[in-house]
Chains A and B, each alone.
Chain A
Amino acid sequence: MAALSTIGLTAEGAAMLLDARAVSCVELAEAYLRRIDAVDGDLHAFLRTHPEETLARARALDEGGRSGIEGVPIGLKDLFSTRGIETTAGSRILEGFRPIIDADVVEACADAGLISLGKLNMDEFAMGSSTEHSAYGPTRNPWNQALVPGGSSGGSAAAVAAGLAPWSLGTDTGGSIRQPAAFCGIVGLKPTYGAVSRYGVVAFASSLDQVGPFALNVRDVALLLSIIARNDPRDSTNVGLPAPVELPEAEDLKGLRLAVPRDQLDAGVDAGVAALFEATVERCRALGAEVSETTLPHAGHGLAAYYLIAPSEASANLARYDGARYGLRVDAPDVHAMYSETRRAGFGAEVKRRIMIGTYALSAGYFDAYYGQAQRVRTLIRRDFAKAFEQYDALLLPTAPSVAFPFGAKLYDPLAMYANDVFTLPVNLAGLPGLSIPCGLADGLPVGFQIIGPAFSENRLLAIGHALERAIEFDPVPPRILEGRG
């Protein structure tokens, strides 16, 4: 047969090829591995692949028989523990670390017959919005290699956009799935807090972290969500989803009440993003939705609350990296010096900044003024959303205020980098689901459209996203990739 192209191939499409016996599981996996070999030297989406394990699993499925989604490959953010396979969270401090467990989402993918291609690049410990904070070098945006892919799950987004994997998993603590999905022109979902198990996921900010899918279209995102959202007693905050995930079929938005929280846009949105956002809101009306305007009066404090809560929880979670039991150790004559020198050498600049902010905010005399106050703001933001959802089925916002930015543009200005999450992080503070779909190109770069719903409204968000996606007809394949330059 002619060489199989993975560019633009969806997971559902790949399963159909397997069903039709047009390709075997081994041939499909080999096609992705070839694609990675061909372009990932430039893109750097994967931190590592493990072709022998990948092909062994594919061979076992070819020999044992397969059905449904079994045999479709997947890429995994390097934040997920993979038993016996190096897991670094993008940090030097975990270089060479081989977990003794699989994360629940890794197990869930294996249970469903998905085949892992390898581990994807990310900002160190998921702290960042550009993947520039990876200790192993940044990932490049498949639409333009001079630009960042977004972050922290930048490798997960770039891999899918460039045809290195049909779909992937990432995590979203303040926008780390939705923003890179937007920057790379694909679909990304941050599920309701608690829908997906965090067991075996390297912890960043435990009250905010959530695992979610990336794919080329909304149906694939729904399918992958149905695989990973399950009850897991090993994560005490996990509740699963109250109803099974429905594969979306909706073609219109009739009967839906949507609203734009107009006050949020005062934060400032680039002209090209604003124009596409408004055009997409109009499209919602054309598809039959009733679209109003509302406000989220306290969400403006979200950035400050987030940048206290997330670093505080991170400073506690990252206390475990001390050189004693696993990961990097820098030898010193005294145990305290060993801890301090190990952490000095093992953590990058952004991680150190956040550990310092978090330790300061939690230290004696400041706890209530900072962490306590941030948690009260969080209550107000939750109430704002709850009030809006009394009247509306979903809220609409841009995913990010800009398109992908150049390397270095925000690297040395932490506040500018943080501000890129202004439309995504209130959703994490309130524990809600948010879906980002591509809504068009501004200056040749993808723009993300975000749909936010009440807790556990994933099926509604997926239906809205699917109907919109059909109407928009966005082509998620970057032109540079088609021309063979990507």
Chain B
Amino acid sequence: MAHYDSAMALSDSDVRHVARLARLGLHEDEVAPLRAELETILQHVSAIAELDLAGVPVTSHPLELVNVLADDIPIACATRDDALANAPDRAGDGFRVPPIGA
């Protein structure tokens, strides 16, 4: 489990990689300050990575829930024009976006 320690020391390329995964544009001069901030936060939260919690179940939802089934009744939903009402760039009945890999 030694990789938790190394996980706290981020490289600039780690920061660029995570930003790419998050589709978050970063300018080169923003990388180093962000790396320092993230390292500080990760150092703090990493304490729990070292707890021995084998056998403890995860909580994904605080209430004990059971699935319920609803009757299949059609109801009104958003119209095409509603869905397109906030489009930054509408083309007919669709959203226009720039090409992939231009």
Residues on A facing B (Cβ under 8 Å): 97-98, 100-101, 192-194, 207, 233, 237, 239, 301, 303-305, 307-308, 315, 319, 322-329, 331-341, 343-345, 347, 352-353, 355-357, 359-360, 363, 365-366, 369-370, 372-380, 382, 414-415, 429-432, 455
Contact = CB atoms under 8 A, between A and B. Distances in A.
Q: Which of A326, A333, A430 has the most CB of B within 10 A?
A: A326
18 contacts: A237-B63, A239-B65, A307-B44, A322-B23, A324-B95, A334-B100, A344-B26, A353-B34, A353-B41, A355-B22, A356-B24, A356-B38, A357-B41, A360-B18, A373-B53, A376-B51, A414-B41, A431-B62
Contact of B102 (A193, A333, A340, A382): A333
Nearest to A339: B23
Nearest to B21: A359
B15 A100 contact: no
Given A335-B98, A336-B100, A365-B3, A329 B89 contact: yes
A413 B53 CA distance: 30
B45 to A, nearest CB: 4
Interface string B40-75: 111011111101010011111111010000100000
Nearest to B96: A324
B88 interface: yes
Interface of B: 1, 3-4, 7, 14-15, 18-19, 21-27, 34, 37-38, 40-42, 44-49, 51, 53, 56-63, 65, 70, 78, 82-83, 85-89, 95, 97-102
B11 to A, nearest CB: 12
B88 A327 contact: yes
A341 B25 contact: yes
A193 to B, nearest CB: 5
B60 A431 contact: no
Contact of A207 (B3, B61, B70, B86): B61
Contacts of A374: 45, 48
A337 B26 CA distance: 11
A127 B73 CA distance: 38
B41 A415 contact: yes
B42 A340 contact: no
A206 to B, nearest CB: 9
A322 B83 CA distance: 16
A185 to B, nearest CB: 30
Nearest to A193: B62
A319 B100 CA distance: 18
Given A333-B102, A340-B24, A379 B59 contact: yes
B23 A343 contact: yes
Given A233-B70, A347-B24, A325 B95 contact: yes
A29 B47 CA distance: 52
A197 B37 CA distance: 35
Contacts of A376: 51, 53, 56-59
A96 to B, nearest CB: 8
B59 A338 contact: no
B96 to A, nearest CB: 9
A344 B25 contact: yes
B94 to A, nearest CB: 10
Contacts of A339: 23
Contacts of B102: 333-335
Nearest to A305: B48
Nearest to A330: B25
A98 B34 contact: no
B82 to A, nearest CB: 4
A455 B51 contact: no
Contact of B53 (A324, A340, A377): A377
B84 to A, nearest CB: 8
